[in-house]
Structure formats: structure tokens, C-alpha cells
Structure 1
Amino acid sequence: MIKVGIVGGTGYTGVELLRLLAGHKGVKVHAVTSRKEAGMPVADMFPSLRGWVDVAFSTPEEADLKSCDVVFFATPHGVAMAQAPELLAAGVKVIDLAADFRLKDPAEFQKWYAMEHSCTDLLAEAVYGLAEVNREQIKSARLIGMAGCYPTSVQLGLLPLLEGGKQLIETNTLIADCKSGVSGAGRKAEVGTLFSEAGDNFKAYGVKGHRHSPEINQGLSAIHGAPVSLTFVPHLTPMIRGIHSTIYARIKPEGRDTDFQKLFEERFVDERFVDVLPAGSCPETRSVRGSNIARIAVHRPGNGDLLVILVVEDNLVKGASGQAVQVMNLMFGLPESQGLEVVPLLP
């Protein structure tokens, strides 16, 4: 059994990790940390876990995280990089769901997250946690910087078009028009996510620049093997869970004869957690709620030169905790889908 620790178990990604790991036959949750709630049974805070999780919150010092096989950080940015070196030195694998190990350039990290990176020596070693792209590297990694929720949907949506240096689309005019439910903002008191503010409302944010933009461009450029530039505009929608990304790509002359539906189907045919829908489909966020599945549809309106790729995912599962469990499975040689065979919830 894999002994698991979770640092920051009181947020949405933390409780989602607990939900998924509770049904995972290969792990035992050893510790869940929270300084504020230390001593409180986890199931008292999250009654949905009654009968499934019997540990109590503890401080990081009391938790003895060094005795774990792997520690997940479901924390604000900056926490993992402060604690990761000591855990790694003790032989513990680290999976960070925040941004501490996503960006390879520490100057970019400081620019977008307003803090200096405290262990830049680990950035080169950290593997980006998007299994469909970095599966082999993840298997031998000891430090993972998980992909963000929006970046997951955008990179999966463009992967078949860019991978291996393909010259099918223009790579400097890409646009991702993305919408997320309010849980993406985290479990905290904030005016913009109050029900009376977010309900019956729809708005863009971060139009001048969003911290997921450099991550998306970094990831797409790595996939393509050459610089890629994408304009990313996120929106807040009045729903709890879900991301819907509409991606626009201009087809190059040399790509006009491509069967894009076939291209996507063949690329993802063996990917358990990516579902390419039949031609003409429009995926809905509710079709992936609570699951680790991303659903993709490819459109070419009027058989013209513009591709429209639609991607939906649950931001807390495939966009965060679910794919963190997927990555953990790879790191420990378990079946990749173990603990993640969850049918989406409907309605």
C-alpha cells in the first residue's frame, strides 16, 4: 500500500483528493494537514467522507510526512517549494497541485505569482504533470508540478495539431475562449464568488493577462518543439464545477486536406481519460462532472480554414485532483486508471 500525505486538506482540491483516494485500493491516507483545523476529524468538516475517511487533520509537524511514500500539496502557491526539498531528501515523492513547479523560468514565476522562487535548482528536475504528454517522464519522476485546470483543457485540445512539429495550423494566432465554474477560485471567502455576485451572471476576467497564459504557451511550445503563441481569455460562469474551452485555430494551406476528426480519434484512441466525440457533437460540462474525463469535439465550420475545438472537463478532477491521482499511479507502477473509474454525475 502506498502511504499518502496531503498538505492542505481543507480546500476543494484537497477534499477531491480525499474523495478519490478513499476508493483507491492501492493507497492508505496517512496524514491530512491543516494548522487551523488540527485535531478535527476530516469527516466532521466534510460529511460526504463519513465512513470513508477516518483520519483527523494534523499539523505538518505532527503528521510525520517524511514517513509517507508520496505527499500531495493542495495548497496556495509558495507552500510546496518551501517544503519539497526536505521531503525529497527523505525519499518522499512530491506532487504539487499549485504552480510552484509548473513554470521552468523562475523570472516568469515571480512575474505572475508575485513571489521569488525559493528552490530554483529543482525546476529543471520537476516533470510537468500532464500524463497524455509526459507519461514516460512521469513514471520515473520524484517531483511533479501538476498542470493547471485551464492549461489542461487547452493543451489537450491542441495536442494532435501540434505534436511532433506538425505544420497543420498557424501557431501565432491561436485563441482559447475558456469558461470555468466558481470552484476554480478555491474555497475561500471572496466577494466575486459569493452566490449573489456569481449567480445569474457571466463575466470575463484576466483579459490583460492571466497567470495560466505563460503555462499554456510553455506547454504548447514544448509539445510543438517550437514557439507557440496563444491568446487566452477566461470567464467565470454561474456553476460549481466544470470548464468549457473553445479553441480557435487557423488551418495552414498544407493542412487543408487533413481529416481532423480522424487525426484526433487516432491520437487519443488509447487514452482512457480523453474522449473524442463523434463529428458534429458539442460536449457539455455536465457530461464530465465528478470524473477524470476530458471530452473533445472538433469542428470545421463550412469546411473552411478555421478549426473550432471544444473541450470540457471537471476542473477539480481532470483539471486538478483526478489527474494528480492519475500521475501518482504512473509514478508507482499502478494501473493508470486505478481509483479513477468514476461514472460522471447526472443531473
Structure 2
Amino acid sequence: MTHRIAIIGASGYTGAELIRLIATHPGFEVAALAANSKAGQAMASVFPHLRHLDLPDLVTWEDIAFDDIDLCFCALPHKTSQQVIARLPQHLRIVDLSADFRLEDPAAYARWYGNDHAAPDLQDEAVYGLTEFYRAEIAAARLVAGTGCNAATGQFALRPLIAGGVIGLDDIVLDLKCGVSGAGRALKENLLHAELSEGTHAYALGGTHRHLGEFDQEFSKLAGRDVRVQFTPHLMPMNRGILATVYVSGDPEAVHHTLSEAYAEEPFLTVLPMGESPSTHHVRGSNFCHIGVSGDRVGNRAIVTAALDNLTKGSSGQAVQNANLMLGEDETAGLMLAPCYP
């Protein structure tokens, strides 16, 4: 059976990444593409790297006939996504790539994103889309909320350790380096080549990054108490990739064993041999996440590193992985592409 797929927000980076992945998917067909700002244009003019594909032209999302669409990916900015999804047909299964349905508490959404939740009734049915930890819920869901790319990386490094009780919960430090595509395709002065290249900088210091809302929600739920990590992201002059370095208190061997056991059967999560560290180069363009563990010269301290591609495993690849579960496909379908190296 071939499932007919629509993508709203197809002119952004995550929209293009969805199309790239679906192009090799045995059970998905791109039936409709929407980008209101570029409606009427061919995808080849918006993303020339996709010109070899037979794709429908871009339309406004209101012009899509959803009656024969099985699943819709919504790759719009936050706030806009809530407004659009609230108007989509009830029969439609939806994977949202924005931040609009990630936080269970509408008050938490308002606090972190600066505006009231526009669709609180839909929030009640939304399932958090970290695939490896919410499989059953995702498979049964109508609306799945994809995670933040930074939030996914940090959770892959930390969730089994928090759940297993092998690290301290009051001194977790998460240092994260991320590629510029994580900021989206919109023109921003600080993302110009002359502004960004040949340097790097920290941003959202002092606990102001919005993905902290996801860390607070998920880690506290796991621990059964409040967990507040110290998190600082850094913008790197690279197109794709996230590298998280996490400093925790705990026995390094126990940390490595816990992660290895937790991910032993996971197709996309690989724990490296003790002492090895991952690189963003080794996961680029793929749905894989590599995790490393090292000891420290300070006793009872461990360093956990995690690398993934923010556009794939951190966003569009995760979205396809969730859609596979929702539509009864093999979870890995369309996602076993090898990383692009160098």
C-alpha cells in the first residue's frame, strides 16, 4: 500500500529534508506540497537539488484536497503551526515539526514561547515525538509533536541515565554545538556568511533557550522530581549537525553500561566503545545518533557526548520515523541512508 503524504511548509529546510527522505521511501508518495509564500512555484526552482524528482508544484495549504491524504507533515514556524493544524480535517494524521505541541502544559508553552497556546484542545491529544521512548503512544496518535533538535540530542544522552539512577540529578551540565540550519531558512543578519563564518559564539545563556522547556518536562517526569539541567548552546559555522557534551556525576563504566543496554536494540542509536567520541561528520545526512562515554580525571565524573544531524534525526528523519509507526510501516523505512562523508 502506498500512503499519500502532504507537506505544509515545504519551502523550508525541514520540508526539503522530508522530501529527500520520502523520495526513497517504499510506502510513501508526496501527493501535495504547500508553501504559501512560494505558491505556484515548482520545487526545482525553490530547491534545485530536488529537480530530479517528479513533485507537485507548491500551493497554499488551503488549496490542498485533504480527503485523499493519509498523513500531513507540518513544517511551519511555532505559533503559525497551531493556527493551521486547528483547521485541518479531523481524519488526518499529523506530524508537527514545530514547537507548538511539544509542551504538555499550555502555561509552559506561553512562558517559553511568549504567546498563549492557540489550540489547547489539540494539546490534550498530542503525543511527544521522541520515537525511541514513546513508540506505542505515537503509533496510536493522530497528532505527534516532533521534538526540538537540541532537546532530542540531550535526551538521547541523558534519559537512560536519569531513569536508571546512575547519575546525580543536581549538577548536569549540557554544552551543545549546533549547525546554522537549525535556525531555519529565513534571512537573519547574524546568519550571514560574513557574520557567522570563522567564529563561534554561545547564545541563550543563563537558562533562556526554549528547548529547556522540553528538558524540564521530560527529565522531571522521568525522575519523579524537578530536574533542571544547566544548558548552553553554541552556534557553529557549519550547515548541519549537533554535538552535545554532557558532564555528569557518576561512575563512567556504569554510565557506559546503562546507555549500551538501553540502546542495544535501537536501529538508529549507537553507543561507541568506552573512551571513543562521536563526530558530526559521522552522522551527516543520516538518521543515526552516535553516543560516546569517557571518564574524567576527577573521580566519579563522566563525560557523555552525542552527535546527530539536526535536520534528519533531530527533525525530519524523526518525523518520518514517527509517520512510519503511525501508518503501520517498518520504522526504518526510508531512513537507512548511510551518512554522507566527508
TM above 0.5, yes or no, is: yes
Q: Quick check: 1:174–1:230 contact (8 Å CA) kept in 2?
A: yes
CA distance in 1, matches of 2:184, 2:112: 18
Alignment CA distance shift 1:257-1:74 (3 Å): closer
Aligned pairs for 1:117-266 (under 5 A) are: 117-163=117-163, 166-208=164-206, 209-251=208-250, 256=251, 259-266=254-261
Partner deviation per Cα, 1:327-347 (whole Å, 9 max, x = no partner): 000111111100001100011
Query: Alignment partner of 2:248: what SS?
Result: strand
| Superposition deviation, residue 160 in structure 1 | 1.6
Matched, 1:95 2:90: no
Partner deviation per Cα, 1:105-156 (whole Å, 9 max, x = no partner): 1122112212211111222221100011111111111111101000000001
Aligned pairs for 1:263-342 (under 5 A) are: 263-302=258-297, 304-342=299-337
| Superposition deviation, residue 11 in structure 1 | 0.7
Query: Alignment partner of 1:98: what SS?
Result: coil
Partner deviation per Cα, 1:63-100 (whole Å, 9 max, x = no partner): 123431111111110122112233252x0011110011
Aligned residues: 340
Amino acid at match of 1:248: Y
Alignment CA distance shift 1:98-1:267 (3 Å): same
TM-score between both structures, scaled by the size of structure 1: 0.95
Q: Quick check: 1:98–1:145 contact (8 Å CA) kept in 2?
A: yes
TM-score between both structures, scaled by the size of structure 2: 0.96
Aligned pairs for 1:69-84 (under 5 A) are: 69-84=70-85
Amino acid at match of 1:199: S
Matched, 1:23 2:18: no
Partner deviation per Cα, 1:272-299 (whole Å, 9 max, x = no partner): 1101111111111010000000100011
Alignment CA distance shift 1:135-1:303 (3 Å): farther
Amino acid at match of 1:81: Q
User: Unaligned 5+ residue runs, structure 2?
Assistant: none
CA distance in 2, matches of 1:239, 1:128: 28
Partner deviation per Cα, 1:34-91 (whole Å, 9 max, x = no partner): 12211211122211112224210001122123431111111110122112233252x0
| Superposition deviation, residue 264 in structure 1 | 1.4
Q: In the alignment, what sits opposite 1:344? A: 339
Alignment CA distance shift 1:54-1:122 (3 Å): closer
CA distance in 2, matches of 1:88, 1:120: 17
CA distance in 1, matches of 2:224, 2:53: 45
CA distance in 2, matches of 1:257, 1:322: 30
Identity of aligned residues (%): 39
Q: In the alignment, what sits opposite 1:60? A: 61
Query: Alignment partner of 2:212: what SS?
Result: helix
CA distance in 2, matches of 1:310, 1:181: 16
Query: Alignment partner of 2:7: what SS?
Result: strand
CA distance in 2, matches of 1:257, 1:131: 26
Aligned pairs for 1:27-42 (under 5 A) are: 27-42=28-43
Amino acid at match of 2:201: K
Aligned pairs for 1:45-56 (under 5 A) are: 45-56=46-57
Alignment CA distance shift 1:182-1:153 (3 Å): same
Q: Quick check: 1:88–1:142 contact (8 Å CA) kept in 2?
A: no
Q: Quick check: 2:126–2:141 contact (8 Å CA) kept in 1?
A: yes
Matched, 1:12 2:7: no
Amino acid at match of 1:234: P
User: Unaligned 5+ residue runs, structure 1?
Assistant: none
Query: Alignment partner of 1:158: what SS?
Result: helix
CA distance in 1, matches of 2:110, 2:254: 42
Query: Alignment partner of 2:85: what SS?
Result: helix
CA distance in 2, matches of 1:136, 1:300: 35
Amino acid at match of 2:235: L
